Amino acid sequence: MPDEVSPPQEDRQVLARAQAGDMAAFEALVESHRDKVFGLALRMTRSEADAAEISQDTFLSAYQHLKEFRGDAAFSSWVYRIAANHALMRLRHRRVVQAAEDELMGPEFTERGSLSAYPERDWSRDAEEKALDAETGLAIQQATDRLPEGYREVFLLKDVEGLSYEQISELTGDSVPAIKSRLHRARLALREAIDQFYNRDNREV
């Protein structure tokens, strides 16, 4: 991955031409980074179809916001972050769809109105558990939203999406020790938020 602080001179020259409206230069940037963007999207989504669409969306977004990129970091780091954001949105959408499909899978009945097969779980208790899970999930989501951007990004990529430290380092351009430090602080902040959530319930009781 190109150096985060000092992008290669050749990359800077191609980027400058692309920002000036040279479509061939932008296509050269796409050609240089297409495989790594696709590889990142594939690792995050584990779907070649999704990875292909994310790659297209990533470079479309990069083209639309190309003039806003000031070149403080490597173009590769910038475009990888765009890809990660698109992949995260795709994964969140996938989980929402899956949850909706699971909700539709209720018990089946015979023509006489009796259960065709008794559920393995207590449905009334399951409803209570879902309500508690929903409240806990909301508390975690709110705590996650309050994390500083760098901490939130590392937490989502490592603990939610399951990327390795090395993959996150490749994505963000930060060192593995720095990533581990931010992740540790993010976990502490989330643990404190969850503790406060449960302590609130105990106080109300």
Q: Where are the chain's structural domains? A: 9-102, 132-202
Q: Does pLDDT of 193 surpass 70?
A: yes
Categorize the per-residue pLDDT at 48 as very low, low, confident or very high, splitting at 50, 70 and 90: very high
Q: Which residues pair with 109 in a beta bridge?
A: 115
pLDDT at 121: 47
Categorize the per-residue pLDDT at 131 as very low, low, confident or very high, splitting at 50, 70 and 90: low
Top mean pLDDT of 80-89, 124-133, 137-146 is at 80-89
Nearest-angstrom CA–CA distance, 131 and 134 = 5
Are 9-102 and 132-202 equal in CATH topology?
A: no
Categorize the per-residue pLDDT at 87 as very low, low, confident or very high, splitting at 50, 70 and 90: confident
> Which of the four CATH numbers 1.20.1420.20, 1.10.1740.10, 1.10.8.50, 3.40.309.10 does domain 9-102 have?
1.10.1740.10
Contact indicator for 54, 83 with CB cutoff of 8 Å? yes
Sorted by sequence, the CB contacts under 8 Å of residue 83 that are 6+ apart come out as 37, 40, 41, 54, 55, 58
DSSP letter, residue 66:
G
pLDDT at 202: 53
pLDDT at 2: 41
Nearest-angstrom CA–CA distance, 66 and 70 = 9
Nearest-angstrom CA–CA distance, 1 and 29 = 14
CB atoms within 10 A of CB 50: 18
Nearest-angstrom CA–CA distance, 81 and 89 = 12
Nearest-angstrom CA–CA distance, 49 and 41 = 10
Using DSSP, state whether 139 is helix, strand or coil: helix
CATH 1.10.10.10 fits 132-202, yes or no: yes
Segment 6-25 shows an average pLDDT of 81
pLDDT at 177: 93
Overall pTM surpassing 0.75 (yes/no): no
